[in-house]
Amino acid sequence: MIFSSVPSWMDVIAYVYIAIAIISSLIIMADIFIRGNRQMMPVMDYVWPITSLYLSVFGLWAYWEMGRPDSMNMKGMKMSMQEHMAHMGGHMHHKKKPFWQSIFVSATHCGAGCEIGDFVGEWAVFLLLTGVTVAGSILYIEYAVDFILAYALGIAFQYIPISQANPKRSKFSNLKNAVKADSLSLIAFEVGLFGWMAIFNLWLFAPGVINPSYVVYWFMMQIGMFLGHFTSYPANWLLVRAGIKEGM
């Protein structure tokens, strides 16, 4: 079935889901920045609230179960990040997690970069490139812009903790390691998102029915990012098993 207009029930679901996602993100931000439960890896202070903007209440649950520092981490340790890494044998983590959880958390790096890149990219295409098409469709333009921005930001989210943990290495070396650690998972994330974008743009809604000015559009994008998180899981699993990326 192809919708020629946005059903009212879908609008309601979109508003509710997005509201819950924003509330979940604010709860995480309050726990981190107001209650002082800061992450051992500073970039994760921002990754977790961003993650909950697309995983919604599931992201909140994941933060509480997998990402929230325990009392030992926050009260008994006064050491710097470098000292903590040396103490832990060079590995950055809060506590021993099941392997599947460490992979899930590792996937949040590229997910956060992809979310911001896709959000900015979709608005950029809508506001600046309306009417520009490839093979008669603007979808391919969206793919290109979204991927470039998501890739750049995803690598940045990986580069920051790598450079903080290895300040004596050259910037180029740290950047190369960030690219190695996150390229495959970034591509895998976008496969899930782009696949869903094709479905809702080509087969769920008639052309022109929704665009970034509609709340339903962003609900559809959240679904795609949710799927992207899980399509990136096998790639992260392989990268960690191969020793290219560190489980968290």
pLDDT in tens, 69-90: 863 344 344 334 444 444 333 4
Q: 136 falls in which pLDDT band (50, 70, 90)?
A: confident
- Residues 205-240: pLDDT tens digits? 998 899 999 999 999 999 999 999 999 999 999 999
Mean of per-residue pLDDT scores for the chain = 87
Record the tokens describing residue 208, joined without a space.
């022109």
Nearest to 5 by CA among 197, 206, 217, 200: 206
> Which two tokens mark 157?
């989210």
The pLDDT assigned to 95 comes to: 53
- Is the pLDDT score of 191 beyond 90? yes
| Calpha distance 90→71 (Å, rounded) | 21
Reply yes or no on whether the pLDDT at 25 is more than 90. Answer: yes
CB 154 within 8 A of CB 110: yes
Q: Where are the domains of the chain?
A: 8-241
Q: Is the Cβ–Cβ distance between 113 and 149 less than 8 Å?
A: no
Centre a 10 Å sphere on the Cβ of residue 177 and count the other Cβ atoms it contains: 18
User: Could you tell me the CA-to-CA distances from 43 to 40, 85, 117, 186, 217 in Å, in that order?
Assistant: 9, 16, 16, 17, 28
Tell me how far apart the 2 most distant CA atoms of the chain are, in Å.
60
pLDDT of residue 160: 87
Find, among 123, 122, 158, the residue nearest to 232 by Cα: 158
The reported pTM is 0.86
| Torsion sign across C-alpha atoms 185, 41, 177, 118 | positive
Higher pLDDT, 79 or 123: 123
pLDDT reading at 120 higher than 60: yes
The pLDDT value given to residue 74: 43
Q: Which residue has the tokens 């469709």?
A: 137
Residues whose CB is less than 8 angstroms from the CB of residue 9 and which lie 6 or more positions away in sequence, other chains included = none
Rounded-to-integer distance, Cα 47 and Cα 82, Å: 20
